[in-house]
Amino acid sequence: MPRHTRSVDQQIARFNEVVGRIDRGSAARAAQRRQVSRSLQAVRRKATNIGVALGILIAATIAFGLIVGPIGIGGLFLVAALMVLAVLVLSVMPTERPIVDYKDDMPNKAVVQRLDSLLSRKRAALPAPAASRLDAISAQLPLLENRLAETQILDPLAQDARRLMGRHLPELIERYERVPAAYRHERDGEGLTVDERLVAGLDAASTALDDLGRKLAREDLNAFETQGRFIESRYKDSSGALPSE
């Protein structure tokens, strides 16, 4: 095999390795940023709801005073009590929107976002080993979301991803939650507890998602390989030196 061909293969393998590390690191940071962003959005929604409620009470108090008459000391105490009650109720009231049901015509990007929201909400209810697996899966979602957004729904790879993220993975977590806590330490026919079976399933899902991500990125890797071979063949002679001008 010519030296320049081996060189191209080595560079492509090196590129694949480096890009893989970058993608995993970027995905993990993106998952952390999304978690922080969700928390900030929840705080903003609660603050907005509290502000709207207090504004309505103040407006109603002013309107009552202008139309009916002074509300008096008792009325002021009542308004103040209502304000305090509104702040307390809206502070503890959940602001998250319900997760929509999966549909076969749902866009690929929406399927990934739905899974991301579901994993974020279910994490606290799962045992620590399973929660760490959810973090690993969440770290894979930004890359998959980006790739699948450019992929047709009927593409075979997209169909595989949609089945795993839209149905199988959410159903695994849902079925685990249905098992009473008292029975989760019993071992099945293969010697695994319910918790261990959950972790094994999440590990399998993470591996499958990683494989899907690599396959979806194959087009870019093939384009890089073609470009690398072209540059090698165009600008290097058989000895590996650049052609002289």
- For residue 31 the two structure tokens come to 């998952």
Q: What is the mean pLDDT of the chain?
A: 78
Maximum average pLDDT range among 41-50, 171-180, 225-234:
171-180
Instruction: State residue 163's pLDDT score.
Output: 93
Beta-ladder partners of 187: 193
Average pLDDT of span 173-193: 88
Write the pLDDT tens digit of every residue in 12-66.
455 455 445 444 455 455 555 656 665 666 677 777 877 888 888 888 888 877 7
41: left (phi over 0), alpha (psi -120 to 50) or beta: alpha
Write the pLDDT tens digit of every residue in 109-168.
999 989 998 998 888 889 989 988 998 898 888 888 888 888 888 888 889 999 999 999
Q: Are the CB atoms for 12 and 116 separated by under 8 Å?
A: no
What is the per-residue burial (b if ≥16 Cβ within 10 Å, else e) of 205-220?
bbebbbebbeebbeee
Q: Are the CB atoms for 218 and 151 separated by under 8 Å?
A: no
Write the pLDDT tens digit of every residue in 187-201.
888 888 999 999 999
Position 199, amino acid: V
User: pTM here?
Assistant: 0.58
